[in-house]
Amino acid sequence: MSSEVATTTRQGSVVPFTRIDGPDAWVAADFPHLEKEMFHLTPEHIAELDAAVDKVIASGKPLQEVSLADFQLPSLSLPLIDLGQQAQHGRGWSLLRGVPVQRYSRQQQLTAWWILGLHWGRAVPQNAKGHLIGHIKDLGRDPADPNTRLYATNAAQPWHNDGPADLVGLLCLSDGAEGGESGWSSSISVHNEILRTAPHLARVLADSWFFDRKGEVPAGKKPFFEIPVFNYHKGYLSVNYSDNYYHLSQRHAEVPRLGPDHHAAMSLFNALACSPELSLRHILQPGDVQLLSNHTCLHYRGAFRDSPEHTRHLLRLWVSPPNDRPLPEAYSEIMGGSVVPGKRGGIFIQTADKNPIPLEAE
């Protein structure tokens, strides 16, 4: 190891531009059997979830107003909280299997997902319509349109994190006929490898980068904003990355042009994130849940093909826990105007829909 990365630190006491150790700096070899890393719902858990779903629906309360006080999961609540803590403060990700989505109606699916998500924090809006639960589904949108959010297409989504939230959760309702692989890697391990192999590019990634809003522009704001990739703050490293958005920002004359070092940094970042040494791969099955930290994990989605019998459909939550890490003020734009834990996150546009939890993809 070079002298430039000889110091090993941990989250909470990170020294900028030093190698970070700890559970969130994992590599693929640490998890040779993903099945063993999953939390499997038991028949008792499922019975509790069924009862909670029925109770919430029978109450008639709008789903966005439902809180933990409106139901009980006697044996399941604590494991769900632990899954959130593992994603927030541990390795940066959790997997759950066994939500009985295939026998649930759409309303039951949404209700079950909301109930699970309440154990991880406050749901925040995911788009200009203000949707608190997002539908990840191919709607035939044009991936080449700069304002298209790729989750509404069947195209591959490059390595990124979902910036406007601390946690991102996905619940698989149904899988496609082909493709749609889910991958994730530790952005902390990517950081460590960049320090080891190209330390000058780590400095580039900690400098200014410009992020496109893809047409979802709050009142009084510009269609882009500035945020580094590597953010060192109060002893933490938080990573925000999406090369798609950096390239899109170049359509605005005010944004400085990407230079050779920027392109070299993105090329190395992508190569490390997708490498078999640093990334895990998994096909989400109906009833699977994936929960990731947006500060320490990257993820991608492979291209997929639907058929009349198999239509890929996931539900998404963006979650703001009350006890997540401190973030620098540079996150204010991507976090909906605040960096206060529990109060930050989301996309806020004045044209938001009156129905924040639609039954189907829009």
- How many other C-beta atoms can be found within 10 angstroms of the C-beta atom of residue 210? 19
- Give pLDDT, residue 355: 87
Q: What pLDDT, on a 0 to 100 scale, did the predictor assign at position 230?
A: 98
Residue 298 is predicted with a pLDDT of 98
Q: What is the pLDDT of residue 350?
A: 73
CA distance 249 to 124: 24
List beta partners, residue 56. none
Within 13 Å of residue 11, how many CA atoms lie on the same side as its CB?
23
pLDDT given for residue 8 in this prediction: 83
Helix (H, G, I), strand (E, B) or coil at 173: strand
Are the beta carbons of 289 and 170 closer than 8 angstroms?
A: yes
Could you give the domains of the chain? 33-335 (3.60.130.10)
Burial profile 247-278: b = 16 or more Cβ within 10 angstroms, e = fewer? ebbeeeeebeebeeebeebbebbbebbbeeeb
Residue 139: beta bridge partners?
Answer: none
Distance CA 27, CA 31 (A): 8
**To 5 degrees, how large is the angle CA 170–CA 173–CA 177?**
110
Closest Cα partner for 300 from 281, 277, 272?
281
Contacting residues for 58 by C-beta, under 8 A, at least 6 apart: none
Tens digits of pLDDT across the chain (362 residues)? 344 565 788 999 999 999 999 999 999 999 999 999 999 999 999 999 999 999 999 999 999 999 999 999 999 999 999 999 999 999 999 999 999 999 999 999 999 999 999 999 999 999 999 999 999 999 999 999 988 998 999 999 999 999 999 999 999 999 999 999 999 999 999 999 999 999 999 999 999 999 999 999 998 999 999 999 999 999 999 999 999 999 999 999 999 999 999 999 999 999 999 999 999 999 999 999 999 999 999 999 999 999 999 999 999 999 999 999 999 999 999 999 999 999 999 999 876 677 899 999 98
3-state helix, strand, coil split of the chain in percent (to 5) is: 30, 20, 50
Q: What secondary structure, in 3-state letters, does 72-114 show?
A: CCCCCHHHHHHHHHHHHHCCCEEEEECCCHHHCCHHHHHHHHH
| DSSP code of residue 242 | B
CA 39, 43, 45, 50 torsion: positive or negative?
positive
Q: Give start and end residues of each alpha helix (H) in 77-228.
A: 77-89, 106-117, 187-197, 199-205
Taking CA atoms, 132 is separated from 16, 73, 339, in Å, by 35, 22, 19
Query: HSE-up of 329 (CA within 13 Å, CB side)?
Result: 0
Which residues, at least 6 apart from 45, have a Cβ–Cβ distance to it below 8 Å?
73, 75, 76, 79, 98
Alpha-carbon dihedral angle through residues 318, 193, 249, 290, given to the nearest 10 degrees? -20
pLDDT of residue 3: 44
**Residue 214 CA from chain centroid, whole number:** 17
